[in-house]
Copies of this chain bind each other. A is one copy, B any other.
Amino acid sequence: MNVNPPIVGAIELGGTKVLAAIGTGPGDGILARERFATGDDPARTLGAVIEWLRAQASRTGRMQAIGIASFGPLDLDPASPTHGFITTTPKHGWARTDVLAPFRRAFPALPIALDTDVNGAAIGEGRWGAAQGLDDFVYVTVGTGIGGGAIVRGKPVHGLVHPEMGHIPMPRAEGDAFPGACRIHGRCWEGLCAGPAIAARAGCPAEELDADDPAWDAVTASMGHALATITLMLSPRRIIIGGSVRKAGRLGEDRFFERCRVSLERSLAGYVYSPVLSGDGLRSFVVPPRLGDDAGVCGAMAMALASAG
């Protein structure tokens, strides 16, 4: 349609790595990309990202906005004195870091959008991926940690801070005595289903588990409880599960999703009626991301495109 789509910068700021890209959209729309270690020195890391982005902007000659999808918790309240800060993260060196100001200083003429990594991924999946055409859906990542971004009427939920779905209290799955691995909450969702929790439970990383290891039963049962909680709290039209755990090693992604859907249906027990909440309907309700591991950086790109107007 548009022969000159806007070119934007995109940064996915993760706990382990930072992905930066410049382009117009996913796939071939990514004109250049770079990867940085997050490290424990924010000034140095953000400085390197900005330097790379500045070189790309000057190379392409027309970077029009920047999107930053960051790990958190983040202060997203424009009225707050610490707007744009990562607040209470246990990530070494990054608590109380202003992640917005360095980009504002480096690119004073450009609109810069900041949101959580999972809100970014949700926005990207809504624009180009598994939630196209939907105004109400949730993107969750289940990996080193667990987080979720909720889109309500086309926009991410912020409210007081932003959702932190990974830390919801959870029921004990039947027969499960695992005490949980969250340093703060023990048996919250992240403490039961994130990668490190699975490793702590099983004694080896998730990707090395046998397909019939009972750990998968406990994990997918707990996933069902969490998906039911999301369904009952937010009434989304779809839930996208991204992150590394969904690949589920020898169990495989298809079986992991199938088991999560069965657990969700069991947990809801027919209380909320919708064709997508039972049987085969669930295959369109609980789905993997379509942008795969690029959901975050593409989301940052979608955020930038939205702010470029």
Binding site for B on A (CB under 8 A): 73, 87-88, 136, 148, 150, 152-153, 155, 157-165, 167-172, 184-185, 187, 225, 228-237, 267-274, 276-277
Contact = CB atoms under 8 A, between A and B. Distances in A.
Nearest to A268: B167
A269 B168 contact: no
A187 to B, nearest CB: 7
A158 B136 contact: yes
A230 B150 CA distance: 13
A274 B237 contact: no
B233 A233 contact: yes
B237 A233 contact: no
Nearest to A148: B233
Nearest to A88: B273
6 contacts: A88-B271, A164-B271, A169-B229, A170-B171, A229-B233, A233-B233
B169 A235 contact: no
Nearest to A238: B160
A195 to B, nearest CB: 19
A229 B229 CA distance: 8
Given A73-B271, A163-B232, A184-B270, 7 more contacts: A136-B157, A136-B160, A159-B236, A159-B237, A160-B274, A169-B267, A172-B172
A269 B232 contact: no
B136 A235 contact: no
A103 B199 CA distance: 58
Contacts of A232: 163-165, 167-168
A274 B169 contact: no
A269 B188 CA distance: 11
Nearest to A235: B159
A274 B161 contact: yes
A231 B162 CA distance: 9
A153 B88 CA distance: 25
B157 A273 contact: no
Contacts of A158: 136, 235
A167 to B, nearest CB: 5
A45 B19 CA distance: 61
Contacts of A225: 169
